[in-house]
Amino acid sequence: MNFSVTDLVAELKNLRKGRGIQAPHIVDRIGPAMRAVCAITENDDAASVRQKVAARLRDLSAKLPPDLQIGVTAAFGLDDTLHTPFYKDRLRWAEDELERNTRTVRRRIDEAIVQLAELAVHRMAANGLPGQHSASSRWYNADIRQVLVLDQGSAHAMEQRRIVADEDGVSELDLALTVPTPDAVPGDRPTEVTIDVLYGGRLLERRMESTERIGYRLALPRPLRLGDEHEFALRALPRRELAPHYVCLPRHRCDRCEVRVRFDLDRRPTRLERLDGVYQRDIVDPRGDAQPVGLDACGEVAERFTNLTPGLAYGLRWTFGD
């Protein structure tokens, strides 16, 4: 089912009337666009619908400026103190919070609703076709932090992730880790890597998807509901020499990522570059798009990225020697 930002804005404006998300017949007030955005099914009762809508609105509004977040809270009655029968009562609360008059508050709320709709449509487009809910959108990465340590004997990498559930019942994550080695070609002996879960889950299965890519499943401590956040961390210990690059290559939507590498001060790279959304084949292409960066006094470099595009690479590459 396809829908536009305009369609979703109209449904959101209809939802804010009266009691907002506390409307007694909320199921009848949720249109097809909202159903797609909130992953609402025909089997969901009013309580489930209310919970899913509230979680999705809170999740989306967290990306907005503080004044627009207040507008969203007031418009839909997302705070427990705002369960009032009239929209105008919630407007008064927002007027006090923002110290603005009614006209300004109404304008802020309208602006917030448009931005909510734009974010929702963009998110669904990033995970599949516009206006469609696909299996790949069961969860997304709110934040990824990757660290590669090269100055402590054998190299090791650590990854910390904070994910957000995009529907109820997320209990496992299907993930992959690529450990590139110099001059690897298809058919080589698979890269030997030890993966340890530091916290936040239990490793269920690992499998070689290619010579360098390891797929694995992570069981979560508890099933997540729509809008729930969860954090976990992993450590990878490769047993072969690594290729001179370290990147994040997200399969799913990723809002933020930090890639950090710590070099041995006695073996600094002669060339160090930032890769910002390049095709996988261009990671090792010296003529590809890259920006020079430098090390700090500890031999570290950290690059940060936002709104990553699934399938593209973000991170660092380097060269030792001339």
Task: Check pLDDT > 60 for residue 194.
Answer: yes
Contacts with 308 (C-beta within 8 Å, 6 or more apart), sequence order = 248, 250, 253, 254, 255, 257, 277, 314
Q: Which of 81, 111, 133 is the last residue of a domain?
A: 133
Q: Which of 133, 154, 176 is the last residue of a domain?
A: 133
| pLDDT computed for residue 169 by the predictor | 87
Q: Looking at 24-33, 56-65, 185-194, which range is the least confident one?
A: 185-194
Q: Strand, helix or coil at 40?
A: coil
Q: Are residues 146 and 91 in the same domain?
A: no
Contacts with 167 (C-beta within 8 Å, 6 or more apart), sequence order = 39, 133, 137, 138, 226
Q: What's the rounded Cα separation, in Å, for the pair 322 and 302?
A: 23
Q: Are residues 73 and 150 in the same domain?
A: no
Q: What is the DSSP letter of 53?
A: H
Q: Are residues 217 and 96 in the same domain?
A: no
pLDDT, tens digit, 9 for 90 and up, residues 124-179? 766 554 444 444 468 889 899 999 999 988 888 999 999 988 878 899 998 888 77
Residues facing 197 on adjacent strands: 234
Q: Looking at 27-41, 113-127, 238-252, which range is the least confident one?
A: 113-127
| pLDDT computed for residue 247 by the predictor | 92
C-alpha distances out from residue 1 to 4, 27, 128, 139, 226, Å: 10, 18, 12, 20, 21
Residue 162, domain CATH: 2.60.40
Q: Are residues 163 and 126 in the same domain?
A: no
| pLDDT computed for residue 64 by the predictor | 87
Q: Are residues 178 and 110 in the same domain?
A: no
Arithmetic mean of pLDDT over the chain: 84
Can you give the residue range of the structural domain that contains 142? Answer: 138-319
| pLDDT computed for residue 165 by the predictor | 87
Q: Which of 133, 164, 182 is the last residue of a domain?
A: 133
33: phi then psi, degrees, rounded to nearest 5: -65, -45
| pLDDT computed for residue 181 by the predictor | 65
What string of DSSP letters covers 8-33?
Answer: HHHHHHHHTSTTGGG-TTGGGG--HH
pLDDT, tens digit, 9 for 90 and up, residues 209-234? 666 678 888 999 999 988 889 999 99
Residues facing 157 on adjacent strands: 148, 236
Q: Are residues 223 and 268 in the same domain?
A: yes
Q: Are residues 50 and 64 in the same domain?
A: yes
Task: Check pLDDT > 90 for residue 190.
Answer: no
Q: Are residues 61 and 154 in the same domain?
A: no
Provide the domain count of the chain: 2
Mean pLDDT, rounded, for 175-191: 62
Q: Are residues 225 and 277 in the same domain?
A: yes
pLDDT, tens digit, 9 for 90 and up, residues 60-89? 888 888 889 999 999 999 888 888 888 888
| pLDDT computed for residue 210 by the predictor | 63
